[in-house]
Amino acid sequence: MESQKPKISNGVKNWLSLYNPRYIRSLAYMLQASEYNIRDYVSWLARVKNFNKVENRKHLASTPKSLFVIAFISIIILCIYGAAFAILLQWANPLKYLVFILIIISAPHLLSYGIIIPLWLFTFFIQKPTEHFIINRTEKILRNNKSIKIAIAGSFGKTTMREILKTVLAEGQKTAAPPDNYNTPIGISKFVRQLTGNEEILIFELGEYYSGDVRKLCQMIKPQIGIITGVNEAHLQKFKTTDAAADTIFELADWLKDKTVYVNNENALAKNKALNNHIIYNRDGVGNWRVQGAQTDLTGTSFILENNDLRIEVKSKLLGLHQIGPLSVAADIALRLGISPEKIQQGIAKTKPFNHRLELKNYNDGVILLDDSYNGNPDGVDAVIEFLASLKNHKRFYVTPGLVEMGLKTESVHKEIGKKLAKAGIEKIILIKNSVTPYIEQGLKENGYNGEIQWFDNAAAAFAALPNLTVNGDIVVLQNDWPDQYA
Amino acid sequence: MDKKTIAVIFGGRSVEHDISIITAHTPIIQSLTASGQFDIWPIYIAKNGSWYSDKIMNDLEFFKRNDFENYLSEQKKIRLLFDDGLKIIWPGFRQKTIAIDIVFPAMHGTFGEDGSLMGLLRMANAPFVGCDIFASAVAMDKTLTKQVLAAENIPIVPFVWFTKYEWEKNKNGLIQKIKKLKWPLFIKPAHLGSSIAITKIKQESELENAIEVAFHYDDKILAEESVENLIEATLPIIGNDELQLGGIERPLNKTGFFDFNDKYLSGNKKSGGVNNQYSEIPANISADLKQQVENLGKQTYRLLGCSGIARVDFLIDGISQKVYVNEVNTLPGSLYCHNWRKMGISGVELVTKLVALAEERFQKQKNITYTFRSDILNQVNGKKITK
């Protein structure tokens, strides 16, 4: 009975979590979720209060590596405890009791920080050389592959761009692209190993986490065409400034020099860095192509591409006017590669929202769900709010835990979201309690929001409540999802 | 904002025990939780009549555990205190007491929906959701409902009623009376809901068996004419004085009449609740029939003194276009949430509205004077008291 359990303060609970057998699993999970990156793991470690609660949104995946890590950590902790007991039994000095207690008490901390040493040794002596070998092999395979290589860089919109290109170009050419989030050297290498050599077009997303990442990927892939989708505050926690992020993303343009580079000038930071020889794209067109008659609703987005006498009327199932720019880029590249306007039309008709990216789902008796849970960047949020504002005659719900990795811009980015939601007149805002959502509330209130704000302790509680909050015809946007390391 | 403490009472000594568990959770507890406005204390009355309260029971999954009864048997039973409102107490060395601001009864059938629980809550001077004791008690008895409605010229289907004692003493006389009704007939227990123990009979040879079945569940039963060319319709209503109508709903049952399985077990279990996808909302009936159903629904609700929520069931002869009021249900399964959703009212809006209606009625009752000062006691044992 909840009310009858003895009350233990949170501080004591947090401290006890260090001595729970689950602690070992939690450390293994944190390493896995941080992709064994020492910097990320240590910064997470410093923030955790209760180690019983690190696995919230996801759980430890059972892989050979994670099992090895669990076994390794277990051995270390046994060694620490073994050493403590050895001192207690073998050492004649009376201080042994104090030393014994100190070791036992500090064992979890010794363990959590102690494993960084073997992890670093492993990274330096095994992982890095292995990766170097793999990357060289990939570079060689790609050098021998005669396909056209297109690379996409940007803080946001890479996956959507990749999927649009893949769908449109596949209408006329043999096209392949890595699945999921394979945007690191190792991820791309996995994909490259499966290539047959018959491909005519290869499309790559370039992941940017630290300065130099994009350049390294360019050296490995050697793309002929580049697309820069934009620069914003995504990953600002790592880059510190948007200028640093922009420099990293524009490593693609630097590498391509005078080859074809498309730049999204709907994004202010990308626009500022675009050069004269770059091809600009936005919802009004791309290069010499002009967009006419653009419309968007829950069934998709339609527009006409015009270039002198050529006119291509297209309709995509992608939602929102912000999709017109990327769709136009795909049409332009397709035409340059000799794909006919009819095929382009067919290809664009086949484009549809990718998983969890403004994906339309019907659930719970006629409630319209717009799943945008993989979209966690300010430009994507703007696009969704703009789209939501265009949908009238529906009660609209906007559910969000806010955005992660916004660094010093956390407050301004979230206040801006609140402001845009207020201006769009979204009827109900559901906020998940954490360090950033109060700024959204502040932005809402400062801009005269007169709808309803409701708070939930966590996303699971909000999702569970939604069927009881909604009726047929309501629209629910699920905006972003927080991984555990940000909770 | 301080959360109101609300107790949802469910389970109970009733054949509809399990249905009550579902109603309590889908939508009541789930919607109260989703509203974020309440501190919810689930009060579960076991089949043996023991009362338990434990927040673990706010999750419907708890009742799907095979060992939930064992778990509860190890918990402390709660006690009730009527001390200017309702308080629940876990007795013992570390006694715990919670004051309840409002009660949401979610009990179907006997000892709950029949007014018993409402009587208890009135004694406790606690506001509660849904119909009060009088409407609940009348609506629970199908014969009494028909008699009240007939007295006000609301059309009802002809019927004969009798008790077990009367049947045993005067079987032949009653059979003769029943034979005079227009066959086929329905034999129904007077007090049970959810279509339990109801039999449709077409010939006399089936009569006695059907009556035996009904008497197995109730002491009072009725034989009622069957409306042929039947269109069934039901209308959920909420309100105290100002009434808000749900959608007229037409059950789309495949069998001759709606039995327990049709109502509760053949729906789409995935979307929850006890009334899924077996009906047409709004019913595809003529504007004239719609008007009649709505008017009769409102009159019936008022006549029985319903408040909060109720559902009025109708039988319509598809050929003669005659509408009869069949019965009233003072706690529709799952509050007929699916129907309200179709009318644009979410689960949260429904339960919060019902709570507001309960508070409104409670405030009104508070203004009624139930006691007055007299010196009658001083006159006892002294002068002669004269009437």
List the CATH number of the domain containing B182: 3.30.1490.20
B378 domain-assigned: no
Nearest to A471 among B36, B53, B344 (CB): B344
B153 domain-assigned: no
Among the listed residues B247, B243, B244, B219, the one whose alpha carbon sits nearest the alpha carbon of residue B233: B247
Domains of chain A by range and CATH? 9-114 (no CATH), 145-350 (3.40.1190.10), 359-486 (3.90.190.20)
Among the listed residues A273, A262, A256, the one whose alpha carbon sits nearest the alpha carbon of residue A329: A262
Residue B145 has what DSSP assignment? H
Q: Give the integer Cα–Cα distance in Å for B354 and B345.
A: 12
**Phi and psi dihedrals of B224, rounded to 5?**
-135, 140
Cβ–Cβ below 8 Å for A464 and B75: no
Structural domains of chain B, count: 3
Nearest to B30 among A468, A470, A471 (CB): A468
Residues B216 and B247 both lie in one domain:
no
Residues B59 and B119 both lie in one domain:
yes
Per-residue pLDDT, averaged over A12-17, amounts to 87
B193 domain-assigned: yes
* A100 HSE (CA, 13 A, CB side): 14
Residues B236 and B273 both lie in one domain:
yes
Q: How far is B141 from chain A (nearest CA, A)?
A: 32
Question: What is the reported pLDDT for B302?
Answer: 97
What integer best gives the mean pLDDT of chain B? 89
A contacts of B88 (beta carbons < 8 Å): none
Residues B104 and B197 both lie in one domain:
no
Question: What is the reported pLDDT for B272?
Answer: 45
pLDDT tens-place string over residues B338-357: 999 999 999 999 999 999 99
Alpha helices (H) in chain B, listed in sequence order = 17-23, 30-35, 68-73, 116-123, 133-140, 142-151, 164-169, 171-179, 207-217, 260, 287-303, 337-342, 347-366
Instruction: Count CB neighbours of A30 within 10 A.
Output: 22
Cβ proximity of B248 and B285 under 8 Å: yes
Residues B92 and B182 both lie in one domain:
no
Pull the structure tokens for residue A407: 């660094």
Residue A78 has what DSSP assignment? H
Question: What is the reported pLDDT for A364?
Answer: 61
Q: How far is B11 from chain A (nearest CA, A)?
A: 19
Question: What is the reported pLDDT for B352?
Answer: 97
Residues B50 and B122 both lie in one domain:
yes
B379 domain-assigned: no
Last residue of a domain, one of B176, B200, B225: B225
Per-residue pLDDT, averaged over A110-120, amounts to 89
Residues B210 and B235 both lie in one domain:
no
Structural domain containing residue B187? 158-225
Question: What is the reported pLDDT for B386?
Answer: 53
pTM: 0.77
B contacts of A463 (beta carbons < 8 Å): none
User: Judging by beta carbons within 10 Å of its beta carbon (0-12, 13-18, 19+), is residue A352 exposed, middle or buried?
Assistant: middle
pLDDT tens-place string over residues A377-391: 899 899 999 999 999
Question: What is the reported pLDDT for B383?
Answer: 58
Q: Any residues with CB less than 8 A from the CB of B48 and at least 6 apart, and which?
A: B13
Question: What is the reported pLDDT for A7?
Answer: 55
A contacts of B53 (beta carbons < 8 Å): 1
Cβ–Cβ below 8 Å for A1 and B54: yes
Q: Give the integer Cα–Cα distance in Å for B359 and B129.
A: 8
List the CATH number of the domain containing B51: 3.40.50.20
Residues B26 and B81 both lie in one domain:
yes
Nearest to B33 among A364, A465, A473 (CB): A465
Nearest to A4 among B30, B94, B346 (CB): B94
B10 domain-assigned: yes
Q: Is the CB of residue A460 less than 8 Å away from at least one CB of chain B?
A: no
B261 pLDDT band, cuts 50/70/90, is: low
Residues B266 and B351 both lie in one domain:
yes
Residues B277 and B323 both lie in one domain:
yes
Q: How many residues does chain A have?
A: 487
Cβ–Cβ below 8 Å for A365 and B347: no
Residues B268 and B313 both lie in one domain:
yes
List the CATH number of the domain containing B247: 3.30.470.20
Asked whether residue A477 carries a pLDDT value surpassing 90, the answer given is: yes
Question: A472 to each of A362, A368, A476, B338, how far by Cα in Å?
Answer: 10, 8, 11, 10
Q: Is the CB of residue A467 less than 8 Å away from at least one CB of chain B?
A: yes
Residues B305 and B342 both lie in one domain:
yes
B148 domain-assigned: no
Question: What is the reported pLDDT for A188?
Answer: 94
pLDDT tens-place string over residues B1-43: 689 999 999 999 887 899 999 999 999 999 999 999 999 999 9
Cβ–Cβ below 8 Å for A364 and B30: no
B contacts of A4 (beta carbons < 8 Å): 76, 90, 94, 96
Cβ–Cβ below 8 Å for A469 and B272: no
Q: Of A324-333, A443-452, B244-253, which gets the smallest average pLDDT? A: B244-253
B198 domain-assigned: yes
Cβ–Cβ below 8 Å for A1 and B55: yes
Question: Most B CBs within 10 Å: which of A468, A469, A471, as the mutation test of the B interface?
Answer: A468
Nearest CA in chain A to B28: A468
Cβ–Cβ below 8 Å for A1 and B36: no
Question: What is the reported pLDDT for A3?
Answer: 43
Cβ–Cβ below 8 Å for B341 and A455: no
Q: How far is B348 from chain A (nearest CA, A)?
A: 5
B168 domain-assigned: yes
Instruction: Count CB neighbours of B123 within 10 A.
Output: 11
Last residue of a domain, one of B225, B258, B279: B225
pLDDT tens-place string over residues B194-235: 567 889 999 999 999 999 999 998 999 999 999 989 999 999
A contacts of B35 (beta carbons < 8 Å): 468
pLDDT tens-place string over residues B280-337: 999 999 999 999 999 999 999 999 999 999 999 999 999 999 999 999 999 999 999 9
Question: What is the reported pLDDT for B268?
Answer: 41
A5 pLDDT band, cuts 50/70/90, is: very low
B contacts of A471 (beta carbons < 8 Å): 341-342, 344-346
